[in-house]
Structure 1
Amino acid sequence: MQLISLVVSKSTTNEIIRKITFNPKGLSLIVDETNKVSSGSNIGKTTAVKIIDLCLGAKSVSSLYKEKDTGENVIVGEFLEKNKVVAELTCRIDGKTHVFKRALYKNGKSLIDGEPIRSATEYRSDLNKIIFNNLNDKPSFRQLVSKFIRLENANEAALLKFLGTYTNNYEYQAIYEYLFGIDESKSENIDIISLNESIDKDIEAIYRKNGVASVREFETKIGLMKEEVEKFRKSYSEVTVIEDYETKIRENQSVLSDLKKLEAEYSKINLKQELMKEKIRKEEEKIFAVDTKILRQIYEKTELVLDKQLCDFEELEKFHNGMINKRIAMLQTTLNELETESKIIYDELQKLQKVYEKNYVSFNVELKDKFEEKYNDYAINKIKLENFINDYNYIIEKFQEKENNLSKKVEKNNDKTKKGKIEERLSHYFKELTSKIIGEPFAIVLNEDSDEDAFPVKIIGMNGKPGTGIKKAMITCFDLAHINLIIEMKYHMPVFAIHDKMENIDLKELAGIISEARNFEGQYIFPILSDRIDLMGIKEEEVVLRLSANDKFFRI
């Protein structure tokens, strides 16, 4: 599959917004002409790549105007919706021209060669047949084509795991074996492997829940639990009543009677204390607590009216308060006696309550607990055993289900000679590219078929694994080497690589990439900053799109 052109237009007026014609081989560059003062972001470099991806089945058109970091560009979103903007990607596959049309607004239609497609699922399925000649849709079209179009994932961590780290190794095995043309049968077993992996997780969860690690441990533990349950059943059935139970009941009834009498006496004396306190309060209220100057004036006026000698005012006041204080003192003495008596009764009451608890409450709890303990031991362990057996039976069923699934697997084409040849050719191209672009040769190694849990591809260098500083250039080497293999082996696959986020790559490595891409039989599309064009000696015909702050992709 070779890209011919991308046309973006307004379906309301048929006005063409952008037309990009790709070079049939070598470089097709998108140039950012913003200067160092103005920002090169949001001019549409990534937009151009995203539209190609949308024409090839990417999920949502909202990616054109929504970003995780910057939020939503309302102007672009409204422009696409108002003008019903559409994109047409024209390609050449096996000498035949195909046009993939995608609406860039919500709920728009998709067409393949002029024929409307009913759903996004059908659109991707048809693309899988046309572009990869993949009739069973395993691996999925988006899993395969993402290897050729690297957007946000075109970073150092996505060198080999281009679908992200959440994709399982067995899925990557099927994808890479398909992309490298080694074997297609493995892809047909993805659903079975995925289903059995889910079953394994269920089994592991049941093991952890029951504290075992295997079926044999399960069976051993069930045997031990059966013995324990029988022991508890027998112990419960043999529980007998304590011999002196009736005697203890009568003794404690006597203590309870004494306890109630003492409680009544304690309540009675507490009531007396409260009454005594009330009397003291009332006596205290009778003590003079008014302004003595005013009383003295009244007293002197009375003395004049009576024309008769009265008691001295101070003597009268002293006499009155003295009488009250005597009564208060007497009442306080009585209250103190009541409090002392109350404390004695309280202490006796506490002692008697302890005797009662010890001789009656504790005895009855002990007896009750003896029955309940034996019964609970039996009942709890019986339920535990039943649950354990149910989990064991579930495990056995799941193992049988796994066996049934495995019986449906397609036999893998184990042609080691073919695999060895593909590894040799792929590694050959990769070593050439890494030597010229990075300055150090690296090789590609494919994992052994017997290691089903391993990642399918490894990159080996003379000094170990590649460092993070060269991985961006390594992505280019890896993808171009793969396309060289596709061209040599005449696989029914794309022969283009589209990379985004390449602006900050090292100049030395960028020079090597451009030099090698000029001799590349496939198509290599990526953005470049204008200030690097002169440094790299970029030719005008190698530029397929120029964008700037004054001429953004949608021209708005």
Structure 2
Amino acid sequence: MFLKSLKIEKGSEEIRNIRFRKGLNLIVDETPTSDEKKSGNNVGKTTVLRLIDFCLGGKGENIYKDSEFKSKGNTAVENFLKNNDVLITLTLAEDLEDKSSSNIVIQKNFLSRKQKVQRIDGQSLSNGAFTTELKKRIFGSDKNKPTFRQIISKNIRDEKNRLQNTVKVLHSSTTQDVYESLYLYWFGIELDFDHADRKQKLSSDISVELSLQKKLSQTNTLSQIEQLLLIVNRQIVELEKEKSAFEVSENYEMELERLRNIKSKINKTTNELTRLELRKELIIESKYELEDEIAHIDTSRIETLYKEAKSLIPNIQKTFEETLNFHNEMVSEKLEYITQELPGLETEISHLKDEIRSLLDREAHISDLLIRKESSKSLPDLISELNQFYEQKGGLEEARKLWEESNQRLNEMRSELDRINEEISGREGELKNRITEFNTFFSKISSRLYSERFVLSADVNSKGYELNVSSLSGNLGTGKKKGQIASFDLAYIQFADSIGIKCLHFILHDQIENVHDNQISNLLTNIVSEINCQFIVPVLRDKLPDDVYVDDCKVLSLSQEHKLFLF
């Protein structure tokens, strides 16, 4: 899929209609570097890339907000976009050289709710459905993971992490499970099930289960519980023998049967009471933790973290105050949700305690009827001591049950995760062959740029596969790193075409001027023209080498007097 055009309209007025071509597409800032009073900044050349990204499901805030200082964005641009009914139309084409080839027309504006425009070929879609539909239309896939935005992340190199990293193009907090699904997809390794979605869910659930076990182990481990149960059961047996030593009445069998039934009920009721009290304690503990989270939240620290996150995630929509309020509201709602069960639990616990007291009174009464002689220990004391051990036994058995159920869940989840990993490992040979083929293109392009061959490798560890790029020179400078990134992106298009993987045939690459003139010339005048692609580059005219014929490749000319939005 290629870029055909990008149109900017203000109401019925057409502001820009950028027509893209095959090969090199230059968005040129004509501001001369010799004029010290003029700057090549803020004319809109990078904004073109971000408008394309916006139409492909991006948030669009980076168009008018500073990546570091969100409160110091370009208010004039934001007001222009939101107050003037500005509509952005991006047209993609299956083949730029075939006029009859299929097109995809994407339209978006910067408004919200009922005024929001978000259409694909005239069909309005919600946020989730929008990117899902783009994934179906462009890549022919309806699986949940990887997402459309993840797949195209390497095609839009306009933000810091994507300008500095060759393959780690997602947010810095992205887990290896997510990257593994993305890498497998890039190289055409698709399983028969949505393994990425399921694997990520299993990994998350395992982490939750391990947290639960950590909480349980703060009281007793499973091994400790089993040993304590042996001691408690031994004490119960000994005390029961003491009770049986008492001489009983003439109605021995009948009274003893009644006594056994009552003891059985006491045991069952005590177990249930212990279970409910444990449940109540866990809810109250969670309640205190949530209340503490609201009461002791360090707003200054969160604000610092929020600013750092904003610098890494430029498209976060919410302000810090909204985020903090949202956090407190969510915690309050969570507090209300987890405590709504408490009144019912307390009522049930009270009822069970009353029932136990009644049963104990009946047990004591029957035992008194059975006693004919004195004992070294009175029957009420024996019964009281027995009840304490039965309560301990009930609590320990409930804790053991929680441990055993948790272990069973962990074993089941780990077994399923192992099966998924085994199925992925079964495709290892295919993945290595694909990467070997990719490296034929990658190393060739990098060799032409730097007389050095970069290679990609798929390395596996306990968390799955990850991709790494290596070279003989070790660490790379900024310019050479960008050359490596460009080599990777161009090589991927060649590779995908060679084995029939659907891909975007355009690359948006900002800050290309960091590459040395020798490599820029080779890249822009020779290599790009030989590949079935579009290489879209915003750049200052004076930053390009003389042998790059700017006017032949220019699709848009901007300056301080002639900015993108013409205001």
Unaligned regions of 5+ residues in structure 2, if any? 96-100, 241-384
Distance 1:507 1:225, change over 3 A: farther
Distance 1:129 1:380, change over 3 A: same
1:201 counterpart residue number: 207
How much does 1:551 deviate?
1.2
1:96 counterpart residue number: 102
Task: Please identify the structure whose Cα radius of gyration is greater.
Answer: 1
- Between the aligned partners of 1:385 and 1:471, the Cα distance in structure 2 is 60
Distance 1:529 1:513, change over 3 A: same
2:510 is the alignment partner of 1:500: yes
2:261 counterpart residue number: none
- Between the aligned partners of 1:471 and 1:228, the Cα distance in structure 2 is 67
- Between the aligned partners of 1:209 and 1:111, the Cα distance in structure 2 is 49
Distance 1:201 1:157, change over 3 A: farther
What secondary structure, in the 3-state scheme, does the structure 2 residue paired with 1:527 have? strand
What secondary structure, in the 3-state scheme, does the structure 2 residue paired with 1:135 have? coil
1:511 counterpart residue number: 521
Q: CA RMSD in A?
A: 3.5
1:68 counterpart residue number: 67
Counterpart amino acid of residue 431 in structure 1: S
- Between the aligned partners of 2:538 and 2:32, the Cα distance in structure 1 is 15
Normalising by structure 1, we get a TM-score of: 0.65
1:85 counterpart residue number: 86
- Between the aligned partners of 1:405 and 1:416, the Cα distance in structure 2 is 19
How much does 1:458 deviate?
1.6
Counterpart amino acid of residue 539 in structure 2: I
- Between the aligned partners of 2:147 and 2:552, the Cα distance in structure 1 is 36
How much does 1:116 deviate?
2.4
2:550 counterpart residue number: 539
How much does 1:207 deviate?
3.9
> Which sits farther off after the overlay, 416-425 or 47-56?
416-425
- Between the aligned partners of 1:394 and 1:417, the Cα distance in structure 2 is 38
- After superposing on structure 2, the runs of 4+ consecutive aligned residues of structure 1 that deviate more than 6 Å are 230-237, 377-384
2:101 is the alignment partner of 1:120: no
Matching residue within 135, 139, 150 for 1:132: 139
Distance 1:534 1:445, change over 3 A: closer
How much does 1:134 deviate?
0.9
- Between the aligned partners of 1:39 and 1:73, the Cα distance in structure 2 is 16
Q: Note the alpha carbon deviations across 1:123-151, whole angstroms, 9 max, x for none.
A: 11111111111123432111112221122
Counterpart amino acid of residue 200 in structure 2: S
Aligned-pair identity in percent equals: 27
Cα contact 2:513–2:539 (8 A) shared by 1: yes
2:167 is the alignment partner of 1:160: yes
1:471 counterpart residue number: 481
Distance 1:225 1:427, change over 3 A: same
Counterpart amino acid of residue 393 in structure 1: E
1:405-484 pair list within 5 angstroms = 412=424, 414-415=426-427, 418-447=430-459, 451=461, 453-464=463-474, 466=476, 470-484=480-494
How much does 1:404 deviate?
8.3
- Between the aligned partners of 1:234 and 1:34, the Cα distance in structure 2 is 94
Cα contact 2:27–2:555 (8 A) shared by 1: yes
1:55-454 pair list within 5 angstroms = 55-58=55-58, 60-70=59-69, 71-93=72-94, 95-106=101-112, 107-113=115-121, 115-155=122-162, 157-181=164-188, 183-185=189-191, 188-211=194-217, 218-227=221-230, 385=396, 388-399=399-410, 401-402=412-413, 412=424, 414-415=426-427, 418-447=430-459, 451=461, 453-454=463-464
How much does 1:42 deviate?
1.7
Cα contact 1:138–1:187 (8 A) shared by 2: no
Counterpart amino acid of residue 457 in structure 1: L
Counterpart amino acid of residue 192 in structure 1: R
Q: Note the alpha carbon deviations across 1:154-207, whole angstroms, 9 max, x for none.
A: 5564221111232221221221221222x2117711222122112221232234
Counterpart amino acid of residue 215 in structure 2: K
How much does 1:428 deviate?
0.9
- Between the aligned partners of 2:230 and 2:94, the Cα distance in structure 1 is 72
- Between the aligned partners of 1:158 and 1:383, the Cα distance in structure 2 is 57
Normalising by structure 2, we get a TM-score of: 0.64
How much does 1:539 deviate?
3.3
Distance 1:501 1:378, change over 3 A: farther
2:27 counterpart residue number: 30
Cα contact 1:109–1:116 (8 A) shared by 2: no
Distance 1:236 1:442, change over 3 A: farther
- Between the aligned partners of 1:125 and 1:386, the Cα distance in structure 2 is 49
Cα contact 1:442–1:461 (8 A) shared by 2: yes
Counterpart amino acid of residue 120 in structure 2: I
- Between the aligned partners of 1:504 and 1:379, the Cα distance in structure 2 is 76
How much does 1:499 deviate?
1.6
Counterpart amino acid of residue 104 in structure 1: F
Cα contact 1:185–1:413 (8 A) shared by 2: no
What secondary structure, in the 3-state scheme, does the structure 2 residue paired with 1:67 have? coil
Distance 1:417 1:227, change over 3 A: closer
Q: Note the alpha carbon deviations across 1:387-442, whole angstroms, 9 max, x for none.
A: 74254134134225526855996955945554343212210111112112233211
Q: Note the alpha carbon deviations across 1:372-393, whole angstroms, 9 max, x for none.
A: xx99x98997797467425413
2:16 counterpart residue number: 18
- Between the aligned partners of 2:40 and 2:394, the Cα distance in structure 1 is 69
Distance 1:404 1:455, change over 3 A: closer
- Between the aligned partners of 1:503 and 1:135, the Cα distance in structure 2 is 38
